[in-house]
A and B are shown apart, each in its own frame.
Chain A
């Protein structure tokens, strides 16, 4: 069974530029999560989807971050414009239900110069 797929794995951009990350969850997993992980810290939830509905986006900085999960499968997380402090690893995870184990993708390491 294929795991959670994310792309790109690495991204370097200049501040004020836009950037987008893509996630394909494990087949059949209805719940999808985006996390942010800073160096030396644990992941922090940005947004959770149940199918195509964002059910928990309270930690998403909506002035510059946006996310979508069209058709309830793949998801895209966007930052526009990026700031220096956005440099981090962006992790996508999925689970088959809200009480089930979350499986993480390899992450996208973003560097904002």
Chain B
């Protein structure tokens, strides 16, 4: 079982719609959860982090964490063409600072 799973394929959303991304993790001891955005040919860039159960909002982005179900999600409201990228979910298994990444989900926002 992989530490972090992001299984859905490329997500195409029309401009202005909500993009929803999901991620599950295997280690119940994970304490920190991150979403990174990676444009093609570029390095990952942190967009959200969440430590506690519930929702965390930052501008058009909302991260949701459910530790009981071991999943974390990312919502992108009012999607823009500039949001087209790969979104990487990362967690710190066992509470240490080693980031375990999922393989990422590609988002394509269609004008």
Contacts and interface: CB of A to CB of B under 8 A. Distances in A.
Contacts of A106: 42-43
B28 interface: no
Chain B CB count within 10 A is highest, among A56, A98, A102, for A102
Leading 7 A-B pairs by shortest Cβ distance: A42-B101, A104-B43, A98-B97, A41-B103, A104-B44, A42-B88, A107-B43
A67 B110 CA distance: 43
Nearest to A56: B98
A40 B4 CA distance: 14
SS class of chain B's interface: helix, strand, loop or mixed?
loop
B33 interface: no
Contacts of A48: 97-98
B49 A101 contact: yes
Interface of A: 31, 33, 40-45, 48, 56, 91, 95, 98-99, 101-107
B11 interface: no
A56 B96 CA distance: 11
Interface string B90-108: 1000001111111110000
Contact of A91 (B34, B43, B90, B100): B43
A104 B46 CA distance: 9
A70 B101 CA distance: 28
B97 A101 contact: no
A98 B103 contact: no
B55 interface: no
Interface string B33-57: 0100000001111100100000000
A25 to B, nearest CB: 13
29 contacts: A31-B97, A41-B103, A42-B4, A42-B88, A42-B90, A42-B101, A42-B102, A42-B104, A43-B44, A43-B88, A43-B99, A44-B101, A45-B98, A45-B99, A48-B97, A48-B98, A56-B96, A56-B98, A91-B44, A95-B97, A98-B96, A99-B97, A101-B34, A101-B46, A101-B49, A102-B46, A102-B99, A103-B46, A107-B43
